[in-house]
Structure 1
Amino acid sequence: MSLKKAYIIVVLILLVDQISKIYIKTHFFINEEIKVFGLDWFRIHFIENEGMAWGAVIPGEYGKLALTLFRLLVVPGIAWWLWDSVKKKQSKYLIVAISLILAGAIGNIIDSVFYGVVFNDSYHQVATAFSGDPYGTWFHGEVVDMLYFPFWEGNLPEWLPFWGGKHFSFFNAIFNIADMAISTGVGILIVFNKRAFANKKE
């Protein structure tokens, strides 16, 4: 697989990710939700998080800055891994997986680095770009999440140990296209491990 094709994957994922985030940011306010096609299990639910993929958070005053700087350091390494894998004519599985991971990482970095100074607050209002009243500072932007798939929600049977009778929702994570790209890339590396890391035969 050529480097050009790998870059096309990265650029396409980034475009879809950023277009969807900017649309949600400028058309929804925090916690606003709509059902897609009227389906209970497919919703657009706008939230923002300061942390890692899937809404995980690093606590502490400097946690957000540390995470953003860490991402900025890691992305060049992933980019080099992609370039090196293409140069060595590694498996398409590996190259596609790295491309997805790279695109997802860059997508969430854009939010973290720029969104804090580009957009104003989304609480109880729809944000606007370059309003002159940014909600944050450089490197302290929050990541936009919106994809929500609550396939099942209800009380678990009483006979279940530990969780019996408790309210449970599956799947309650809210995420974005960048998160999905990272997870898909990692999934390819796990599920197709032997094919992804197979030695290229001459």
Structure 2
Amino acid sequence: MSIKRAFLLILLILLVDQISKIYIKTHFELRDRIEVFEWFHIAFVENDGMAWGTKISDFVSFISDKTAKLSLTLFRIVAVFGIGYWLVSSINKKASKTLIWAVALIFAGALGNIIDSVFYGVVFSDSINRVAEFMPEDGGYAGLFYGNVVDMLHFPIYSGIYPEWVPFVGGKSFSFFEPVFNVADMAISTGIGILIVFNRKVFPKPSDQLEGLDKEIVDKKDATQLENV
């Protein structure tokens, strides 16, 4: 895959991701929910932490929520530069197309969520009991690098109650799939899934590479023999 094709894929994901987030932010109040189907809801939530709202301060008690938020945003920025380098390097080395697709998806998703974390606090007012305003005169709901990631896709495919014998959660209700996420999260998850499922193809072992090289040599030898007949 060329850099141009990878760029187009990243651009497409970013456009879909940001358009959906901006629409939700400017048309929904926080916690608003619309049932599209019984198994699919549009549910507006904001995430100021990592996956499932987890915060660094949840694990390191002496760090404040504000410091944890800034640390997470800066880590995401550093990580996306690393992923971008991995992507360009893979393209230049003519790595497997499967690997390049996967890394491009992860890069696009990470960048999409970074845009929220870095800029949304500045360009939007808060969404608590009101629809957010874009570029409010009195300023946004947070400073640069302190924005929340907008999530809206919820798939409560199945709801039930844990059996009584299950430790800690027995008798409590649950929903699958409980987390609310966005297009960027889907891109990241898809990219990681590709890397896991096609692990041998995207990260070939030296023995696999030698087998492929031997096969290529044999094929060329057979072709040469046919030309000499």
TM over 0.5: yes
Q: Give the corresponding residue for 1:44.
A: 42
Q: Give the corresponding residue for 1:147.
A: 153
Tell me, in whole angstroms, the C-alpha distance in 1 between the residues paired with 2:194 and 2:163.
Answer: 35
- The offset of 1:78, in angstroms, is 0.9
Count of equivalent residues: 199
Tell me, in whole angstroms, the C-alpha distance in 1 between the residues paired with 2:118 and 2:110.
Answer: 12
Query: What residue identity is the alignment partner of 1:17?
Result: D
Aligned-residue identity in percent: 59
Q: Give the corresponding residue for 1:21.
A: 21
SS in 2 for 1:73: helix
In 2, are the aligned partners of 1:117 and 1:135 still within 8 Å (CA)? Answer: yes
Change (3 A) 1:141 1:184: same
In 2, are the aligned partners of 1:46 and 1:145 still within 8 Å (CA)? Answer: yes
Higher helix fraction: Structure 1 or Structure 2?
2
Q: 1:65 aligns with which of 61, 65, 70?
A: 70
- The offset of 1:54, in angstroms, is 4.1
- The offset of 1:132, in angstroms, is 1.7
Q: 1:172 aligns with which of 164, 174, 178?
A: 178
Q: 1:191 aligns with which of 170, 191, 197?
A: 197
In 2, are the aligned partners of 1:105 and 1:182 still within 8 Å (CA)? Answer: yes
Tell me, in whole angstroms, the C-alpha distance in 2 between the residues paired with 1:161 and 1:46.
Answer: 31
Instruction: Supply the RMSD in Å over aligned alpha carbons.
Output: 1.5
Query: What residue identity is the alignment partner of 2:50?
Result: M
Normalization by structure 1: what TM-score?
A: 0.93
Q: Which has the larger radius of gyration?
A: 2
- The offset of 1:187, in angstroms, is 0.7
Tell me, in whole angstroms, the C-alpha distance in 1 between the residues paired with 2:80 and 2:19.
Answer: 21
Tell me, in whole angstroms, the C-alpha distance in 1 between the residues paired with 2:75 and 2:20.
Answer: 25
Tell me, in whole angstroms, the C-alpha distance in 2 between the residues paired with 1:119 and 1:96.
Answer: 33
Normalization by structure 2: what TM-score?
A: 0.83
SS in 1 for 2:56: coil
Name the structure, 1 or 2, with higher relative contact order (CA <8 Å, separation 6+): 1
Query: Structure 1 residues 162-171 or 129-138, which shifts more?
Result: 162-171
Q: Which runs of 5+ in 2 are unaligned?
A: 58-63, 217-229
Q: Which runs of 5+ in 1 are unaligned?
A: none
In 2, are the aligned partners of 1:54 and 1:179 still within 8 Å (CA)? Answer: no
